[in-house]
Each structure stands twice: as C-alpha cells, then as structure tokens.
Amino acid sequence: MANFEPRDPDFEAKVRSSFGRQTAMQTLGAVMGKVKAGSVEIEMPYRADLAQQHGFIHGGIVTAIVDSACGYAAFSLCAPDTAILTLEYKVNFVAPAKGERLLARGEVVRPGATVSVCKGDVLAYENGQETLVATILTTMMIMPNRPDLAN
C-alpha cells in the first residue's frame, strides 16, 4: 500500500464519527476496525438473517461493507470540509461468503481532489482459514460538504 498524507490531521476521528452515523452498517452489525490514511477495515459477523437461500452472506451485503471500506479509505484523505459518495464500482465474487466473520479492506489506489480510485477485498474467516470472497474497484466522488451530505 502507498503512503498517503491526509489533508485532515483528525482524519481517523472524522472517519470513525461518520461511520458511527451510518445506520446501514449498524443494521448489518458491521464495525470499523483499522483506520489508516488511505486504508480502512470493516468487520461483520456471520448472521443467518443476512444470508441468501444457500446460507451464504448475500452478495449485496458483501458489496455494502466493501463499498463502505473503500469510501472511508478515500474519505480519510479528504479535506475537513468535504463529503464523499460512490460514483461506481465493479465487483468480482470469487468464493461464497461463508464463515464466522467477514473482513472488508478498502485502499486508495489514486487519491484526487474530486475523484479517487480505490480497491478492496472481502475475506471470510472460518475455522482459522482465510478465503477471498470478493474484490472490488471503486470510483469515489469528493465534493464540498453540504447540509444534505453531512459526513
């Protein structure tokens, strides 16, 4: 991972505070783990009520946590007076999302003033084994903070 210089010296507090207000992640039982400049981890325990018909965590849930990890990785490098939204992403699922927990890692590939590109992986942990579940490439839009986009 590249070494990035955050534009906000309080980036970790800003990222964690924003994540704490994201009710979608609360609903999923996701928690923020490591936060570094340009890199964020989000963990989520397995829950049967978030599974699809075969008992695997639903792909929409998998993409939700890794999209957030990438978004917060990009947000960690943003100026204090900005907001961030996902423009697009491409995800490849490579294994079923099964195990005791999932870990989504998001990393900035290229930071920008208005657009940042990020990549991410989702790993499943079961019986001490780590399995890559999905990989993602995202584009994030950085914009001036507005009351309707409060981070």
Q: For the CA atoms of the chain, what is the radius of gyration?
A: 15
The tens place of each residue's pLDDT in the chain, 151 residues long, gives 678 999 999 999 999 999 999 999 999 999 999 999 999 999 999 999 999 999 999 999 999 999 999 999 999 999 999 999 999 999 999 999 999 999 999 999 999 999 999 999 999 999 999 999 999 999 999 999 877 766 6
Which fold, 11-149? Thiol Ester Dehydrase; Chain A (3.10.129)
Domain boundaries, the chain: 11-149
